[in-house]
Amino acid sequence: MENSNQNKKQLPERISLAHGAGGSVMDEIIQLIANTITEKNVKDGIGLKELDDGGSIPLMDYEIIFSGDAHAVHPIFYPGGNIGKLAICGTVNDVLMMGGRPVAIGDTIVVEEGFEISKLEEIVRTMNEIAKEARVAIITGDFKVVPKGELDEILISTFGIGIAKKGQVILDSGLKPGDKIILTGSIGDHGIAIMAFREGIDFQTELVSDNAPLVDTIQAALKAGRITAMKDPTRGGLASTLNELAKKSEVSIWLMEDQIPIKDAVRVASEMLGIDPFEVTCEGRAVLGVNEEDANRVLAAIRKTKYGKDAAIIGEVKEERPGMVILETKVGGHRVVEMPYGEPIPRVC
Amino acid sequence: MENSNQNKKQLPERISLAHGAGGSVMDEIIQLIANTITEKNVKDGIGLKELDDGGSIPLMDYEIIFSGDAHAVHPIFYPGGNIGKLAICGTVNDVLMMGGRPVAIGDTIVVEEGFEISKLEEIVRTMNEIAKEARVAIITGDFKVVPKGELDEILISTFGIGIAKKGQVILDSGLKPGDKIILTGSIGDHGIAIMAFREGIDFQTELVSDNAPLVDTIQAALKAGRITAMKDPTRGGLASTLNELAKKSEVSIWLMEDQIPIKDAVRVASEMLGIDPFEVTCEGRAVLGVNEEDANRVLAAIRKTKYGKDAAIIGEVKEERPGMVILETKVGGHRVVEMPYGEPIPRVC
């Protein structure tokens, strides 16, 4: 009760878009929602207070990894994917980021009355295709319809279950000084592709979403070396992800700007749209902290996978200035990469 | 592909409210969505094709029970509860109906821009209270905001994880001739309370939703005797639930009308509203198939629990006329209780 009253004092009266945008503003809502684990069933597991990519439940020699997302992307069909692909990829990747092997998915689909059944069929077909690629089974779910006008087309929530051996869960707080930071692919593709599509921006080369299930990429990385932390840069992009990792691990992350993969189309469109690509949602990328000695081996293993071809070592972890993310720019200067206020693009995921 | 084309021929072009209403019309959409389990991780588990209350994943000597629902009830605060209470109860109960002990919950909350934060606080507080009562921990989740006008207030999806020992999963298909049918409380309270509240109908006695977490009730039942099948009568009410049980178990269910608990307020309001209370959503009731010899012991155990005081043996299972639900009326006649076309009240859950 006291906590709730304290929250009330700091909080505005109404929800704004930024409250769901993954940046610093979202924190106040998350604090309102996050509850600590108190039940004995899960007392040695991971709960909401960790604010990691998911939770976990200990069972004998295993941890059941549990993670979920709501998906409200708009438009629901976009270059390179649709809301169904996003839903499966997002949840599969969150389970992977905890060190779990994804095994099963549950989904709830809520549609507006009048929604075209052919669209639903295409979305469901895509969900099944991606689930197959990710080697997970969709085993449970729910379907609801709300009256016309009470929802914009469709919302999908997905939850995933993964299995990890006890002690193999990977947390955001695991980075150690000396670790290298690997990014599995170029940044900003998903958010910028959607924003450009909405704005009718035409590229000479096609820019499509990066949405992808990272099962093979992450499993290759885990086999190749010691991974200390993992996180996928979704809402709030690379900037948000690295800031979270640095804060939770109480270390600093030093980035080399010229090593960060970014497509020309993303760079150009970001400038046109006035958006910082560092703060834009990716849906098929991961940031890994890797033990220094293993970094090149892990990088090589990732690059051999379908969704890891453009992977790069983009920086390293230091002890000094804990919680900070610092970018060494192309011209040799340094600037702090701040925790973004929020994802700059609404309904991007 | 072939299947999908066949579906297309039978399906209308657009989704109607009835497609989400839990009755016979919903089947065509469910067939579109339901995929069979193909992944080896879960091949001995329960999948979508079973259309049970959830799925399951085998792990060593256990089954991980997995179940989820989307919640779109309107109004979001109603007599006896709110959307947060509904969300936790619904998922806890679905896990219980599979024979699982609920341990953890994940939730996604999507709100419309401008939603009052005090309402969100109250909903979240309720979710935590009910989770505590049900002895589950909310360990993971997601929070998203969509622009104003693109959602009517709030949608919550919840997924639950439960644990069962291998071989203890309880399926809808388990009814055997001779079994008694126990109903844990009165029917129609939730749906009629919401509908009456919307229509401004005033009762002399207060009618409130039955929404409740049935952990103690079901655990008491499981301890007291052999339970052959369980299902909670949500969308489509008792009529839908009993028809599903009869069909999946390939038996008939014979009901005694005068044994079915129903409140006077529900009876009166149903008549006023022209709704069959047999077809109305409950959110805190369960139907159990119980071995004949154990039925009185199970009934007594259920009646000792907070949410089982009005439990009754309402019928029995026979071999003849498989798939049928037959009601022996108060005046001694018989009528077939049909699978309803759909839940008669929109946005009731």
B19 touching A (Cβ < 8 Å): yes
**Spacing of C-alpha B239 from chain mean position:** 12
Q: How confident is the model at residue B1 (pLDDT cuts 50, 70, 90)?
A: very low
C-alpha distances in Å from residue B91, one per residue of A144, B84, B144, B264: 15, 11, 20, 29
DSSP B59-87: ETTEEEEEEEEEE--SSSEETTEEHHHHH
Tell which A residues from 192 to 221 touch B, by Cβ distance under 8 Å: none
> Could you tell me which residue, B10 or A258, shows the higher pLDDT?
A258
Compare CB distances from A48 to B118, B141, B346 and report the shortest one's residue: B141
Tell which A residues from 30 to 89 touch B, by Cβ distance under 8 Å: 30, 32-33, 35, 37-39, 41-42, 45-48, 54-57, 59-62, 64, 66-70, 72, 74
CB contact under 8 A, A103 and B57: yes
pLDDT tens for each residue of A135-191: 999 999 999 999 999 999 999 999 999 999 999 999 999 999 999 999 999 999 999
Are A288 and A298 in contact by the 8 Å Cβ rule? The answer is: yes
Compare CB distances from B151 to A30, A137, A152 and report the shortest one's residue: A152
B21 touching A (Cβ < 8 Å): yes
Q: In angstroms, how far is the first alpha carbon of chain B from the final one?
A: 33
Give how far A67 is from chain B: nearest CA, Å.
Answer: 6
Partners of residue A11 in chain B, C-beta under 8 Å: 117
CB contact under 8 A, B151 and A147: no
Mutant choice from A142, A150, A347 vs B, greatest count of B C-beta within 10 A:
A142
Partners of residue A57 in chain B, C-beta under 8 Å: 103-104, 139, 161
Q: How confident is the model at residue B40 (pLDDT cuts 50, 70, 90)?
A: confident
Q: What mean pLDDT comes out for the span A330-349?
A: 90
Of A2-6, A38-42, B107-111, B253-257, the least confident:
A2-6
Which chain A residue shows the shortest CA-CA distance from B143?
Answer: A20
Q: Assign A130 to helix, strand or coil.
A: helix
Residues B108, A108: Cα–Cα separation, whole Å: 10
Tell which B residues from 130 to 149 touch A, by Cβ distance under 8 Å: 131-132, 135-147, 149
CB contact under 8 A, B136 and A47: no
Q: Outline where chain A has alpha helix (H).
A: 2-10, 26-33, 83-97, 117-134, 189-199, 215-224, 237-249, 264-273, 295-303
User: Residues near A249 by Cβ (< 8 Å), separated by ≥ 6?
Assistant: A172, A173, A174, A175, A176, A229, A289, A317
Mutant choice from A33, A71, A95, A345 vs B, greatest count of B C-beta within 10 A:
A33
Which chain B residue shows the shortest CA-CA distance from A123?
Answer: B33
CB contact under 8 A, B110 and A66: no
B11 touching A (Cβ < 8 Å): yes
Q: Which DSSP helix (H) or strand (E) runs through A70?
A: strand A62-71
Q: List phi, psi (to 5°) of A343.
A: -60, 130
Q: List phi, psi (to 5°) of A144.
A: -135, 155
Are A11 and B117 in contact by the 8 Å Cβ rule? The answer is: yes
Cis peptide before B346 (omega within 30 of 0): no
CA dihedral (A108, A114, A120, A121) positive or negative = positive
Q: What mean pLDDT comes out for the span A216-239?
A: 97
Q: How confident is the model at residue A308 (pLDDT cuts 50, 70, 90)?
A: very high
Q: What mean pLDDT comes out for the span B187-201?
A: 92
Give how far A321 is from chain B: nearest CA, Å.
Answer: 30
Asked if the model's pLDDT at residue A4 lies above 60, the reply is no
Residues B221, B322: Cα–Cα separation, whole Å: 26
Partners of residue B113 in chain A, C-beta under 8 Å: 15-17
A128 touching B (Cβ < 8 Å): yes
pTM assigned to the model: 0.94
A4 touching B (Cβ < 8 Å): yes
DSSP-derived pairing of the beta strands B154-165 and B227-231: unpaired
Residues A87, B147: Cα–Cα separation, whole Å: 20
Are A117 and A310 in contact by the 8 Å Cβ rule? The answer is: no
Q: Exposure pattern of A41-65 as b/e (b: 16+ CB <10 Å)?
A: bbeebbbbebebbbbbbbbeebbbb
Compare CB distances from B15 to A41, A115, A128 and report the shortest one's residue: A115
Residue indicated by tokens 């399926």:
B171
A223 touching B (Cβ < 8 Å): no
Give how far A144 is from chain B: nearest CA, Å.
Answer: 4
Residues B224, A244: Cα–Cα separation, whole Å: 50
pLDDT tens for each residue of B287-300: 999 999 999 999 99
Q: What mean pLDDT comes out for the span A331-338?
A: 95
Tell which B residues from 88 to 117 touch A, by Cβ distance under 8 Å: 101, 103-104, 106-117
Asked if the model's pLDDT at residue A1 lies above 60, the reply is no
Mutant choice from A143, A163, A345 vs B, greatest count of B C-beta within 10 A:
A143
Q: What mean pLDDT comes out for the span A270-297?
A: 96
CB contact under 8 A, A138 and B20: no
CB contact under 8 A, A109 and B42: no
Q: Give the pLDDT confidence score for residue B34 in this predicted structure.
A: 75
Phi-psi region of B72 (alpha: psi -120 to 50; beta: other; left: phi over 0): alpha
Compare CB distances from B140 to A67, A111, A346 and report the shortest one's residue: A67
Count of other CB atoms within 10 angstroms of residue B118: 12
Q: Give the pLDDT confidence score for residue B5 in this predicted structure.
A: 43
B118 touching A (Cβ < 8 Å): yes
Closest residue by Cα to residue B57 from A99, A159, A140? A140
DSSP-derived pairing of the beta strands B325-328 and B252-256: parallel
Q: What mean pLDDT comes out for the span B31-41?
A: 72
Q: Give the pLDDT confidence score for residue B47 in this predicted structure.
A: 86
For all residues of chain B together, what is the average pLDDT?
Answer: 92
Q: What mean pLDDT comes out for the span A287-299?
A: 98
B121 touching A (Cβ < 8 Å): yes
Closest residue by Cα to residue A283 from A116, A5, A89? A89
Asked if the model's pLDDT at residue A5 lies above 50, the reply is no
List, in order of start, the domains of chain A with CATH numbers. Answer: 16-165 (3.30.1330.10), 180-336 (3.90.650.10)
Q: Assign A118 to helix, strand or coil.
A: helix
CB contact under 8 A, B115 and A12: no
Residues A112, B210: Cα–Cα separation, whole Å: 27
Count of other CB atoms within 10 angstroms of residue A312: 19
Asked if the model's pLDDT at residue B10 lies above 70, the reply is no
Partners of residue B7 in chain A, C-beta under 8 Å: 121
Which chain A residue shows the shortest CA-CA distance from B139?
Answer: A47
pLDDT tens for each residue of A22-53: 777 787 777 777 766 667 778 788 888 788 88
Q: What mean pLDDT comes out for the span B192-220?
A: 91
Helix axes B83-97, B117-133, angle to 10 degrees: 30
Compare CB distances from B39 to A45, A57, A136 and report the shortest one's residue: A136
For all residues of chain A together, what is the average pLDDT?
Answer: 92
Q: Give the pLDDT confidence score for residue A7 in this predicted structure.
A: 43
Give how far A344 is from chain B: nearest CA, Å.
Answer: 13
Q: Give the pLDDT confidence score for residue B127 in this predicted structure.
A: 96
Provide the ipTM.
0.94
Which chain A residue shows the shortest CA-CA distance from B163?
Answer: A59
Q: How confident is the model at residue B6 (pLDDT cuts 50, 70, 90)?
A: very low
